[in-house]
Structure 1
Amino acid sequence: MKKIRMNVQGRVQGVGFRFTTKMLADELGVYGSAMNEDNGSVTIEAMGEDDAMDTFIEKVKASPAPYGRVTFYTIEENATITERDRFITN
């Protein structure tokens, strides 16, 4: 199981980015969370099987929200992320 923390910047707040990220995660069987940050970015903690995570990451980088746009992102693998049994948005 792969666990990552990802921060995305660009047009990612006010465009349904977290909601569509949750829909994508649910479709792929990825668990975790997405949270708006005060600086306008979104932080995502996600975990799942390697293939599902690879697809999830690529689709998040391309923005799952039709009116969203990711201009910059960071990704780090982090084994200490709290395990969840679903994907939530805060």
Structure 2
Amino acid sequence: MIQSYRIDVYGIVQGVGFRWFAQQTANKYHLVGWVCNNSNGSVEMRVQGQETNVKAFIEAINQGPGYYSRVDKVLKHAVAPFESNNFAIK
């Protein structure tokens, strides 16, 4: 079943390659949507795809891209389905 979520990620997630990591991870799990930086230092995403793939994506996001990043909190909220054919960095 296709699921759609807004995901907000807090921690050290800007200026450390986090959006690129999110895009690569979304592509790995065949998800569509987008990722952008927020002015409060968090990263916001819209993610849509098969429920099992979204769960795997969120598990990977919780780990972060590596040494320079730190994920403190990930919030997930269901949203209405949206149209997209890729996962974009905004």
Do both share a fold (TM > 0.5)? Answer: yes
Alignment of 1:1-90 (within 5 A): 1-63=2-64, 65-66=65-66, 67-78=68-79, 80-90=80-90
**Runs of 4+ with >6 A deviation:** none
**Structure 1 stretches lacking a partner, 5+ long:** none
Q: Deviations over 1:32-74 (max 9, x none)?
A: 10010000000010000011111001111221x1121110121
**Structure 2 stretches lacking a partner, 5+ long:** none
> Aligned Cα RMSD in Å?
0.9
Give % identity: 30
Aligned residues: 88
Instruction: Give yes or no for contact 1:61–1:70 (8 Å, CA) kept in 2.
Output: yes
TM-score by length of 1: 0.92
